[in-house]
Amino acid sequence: MLKIIKVTKTFRKTNGEKILAISNMNLDVNENEFVCIVGASGCGKSTTLRLISGLDVPTEGKIVLEGKEIDGPGPERGVVFQEYTLFPWRSVLENVAFGLEIKNSGKRKRTQTAIKYLEMVGLADYANAYPYELSGGMQQRVAIIRALAVNPKILLMDEPFGALDALTRDFLQNELIRIWATDRKTILFITHSINEAIFLADRVVVMKSRPGRIHEVIEINASRPRDKTSKLFKDYYTLIHSMLENDFDKA
């Protein structure tokens, strides 16, 4: 479905120095798959997501979604960032319906779709509330379903739970798996948390830094829901941590 083909990304600093952010990256993401990219700060995780979203372009190589090379942002890619990015002047329902409004969907369809997704995440009673009236976890649920409401081919998530407290983060991890199981969207999820990656993903892409590159892709052969205290979970953690230990020490 998604193919990253020999992608290299170089940035140029103001003094003219070149920074190699990503080097010769190759990755395939299959339809309906949940893939997590994990690595220390500065390894190129967010740069990778920006390239896939079309917010930036590769220096070399290409990224292809369903046979079409990505050359800019598009509605077939939903994006959720760490910041909630909701419009404070719009109600919760209006926020969820925003993408459909941009696509010129009729008001009735927009409302029906928004309500369906609000019901999916237990927020239908907050349809007429405004973002400031919601907790951080509730706002992030709204951000997720706003991205899903436009029916994207792939959902790109850049550390969406990173700013949340541990209990809310655990809750939303379970909530995201439930939504994914219901909606069966392809998800590419960026995180620096090894635990989070193992809990969520079908496959974990381990990235190393200096320069950013794929070190290993690990298939998580564990049934859901996953027990973070199980021996299998701890074995996966130990394996991935051993690959990233030096990078995290330097981060």
Tokens of 50: 């920006």
Specify burial of residue 43 (Cβ count, 10 A radius: 0-12, 13-18, 19+). buried
pLDDT of residue 41: 86
Reply yes or no: is the peptide bond before residue 160 cis, omega within 30 of 0. no
pLDDT of 191 reads 95
Q: Which of 199, 208, 154, 151 is nearest to 176 (CA)?
A: 199
H-assigned helices in the chain: 45-53, 92-96, 98-102, 107-120, 136-149, 166-183, 194-200, 231-250
Within 8 A by CB and 6+ apart from 164, the residues are 136, 137, 140, 172
Reported as type and span, the H/E element at residue 219 is: strand 213-219
**Positions of CATH 3.40.50.300 in the chain:** 2-76+153-250
**At residue 228, does pLDDT exceed 60?**
yes
% of residues, the chain, pLDDT over 70? 98
Please give the average per-residue pLDDT across 125-144, as a whole number.
94
Q: What are the angstrom distances between the C-alpha of 43 and each of 22, 36, 90, 198, 218?
A: 8, 14, 36, 19, 17
> pLDDT digit string (tens) for 139-177?
999 999 999 999 999 999 999 998 888 999 999 999 999
Q: How many CA atoms lie within 13 A of 225 on its CB side?
A: 11
Task: Give me the sheet containing 34-38, strands edge to edge.
Answer: 77-80, 154-158, 186-191, 34-38, 203-208, 213-219
* Mean pLDDT taken over the chain: 92
Whether 224 has a pLDDT exceeding 70, the answer reads yes
Please provide the DSSP assignment of 1-29 as one string: -EEEEEEEEEEE-TTS-EEEEEEEEEEEE
pLDDT at 135 over 70: yes
Q: How much is the average pLDDT of 17-32?
A: 94
Tokens of 61: 């190589």
Whole-number Cα distances in Å, 186 to 152, 183, 215, 241: 9, 9, 22, 26
The predicted pLDDT at position 248 comes to: 57
CATH topology of domain 2-76+153-250: Rossmann fold (3.40.50)
Mean pLDDT value of segment 215-223 = 96
Token pair belonging to 44: 């190129």
From first CA to last CA, the distance across the chain in angstroms is 32
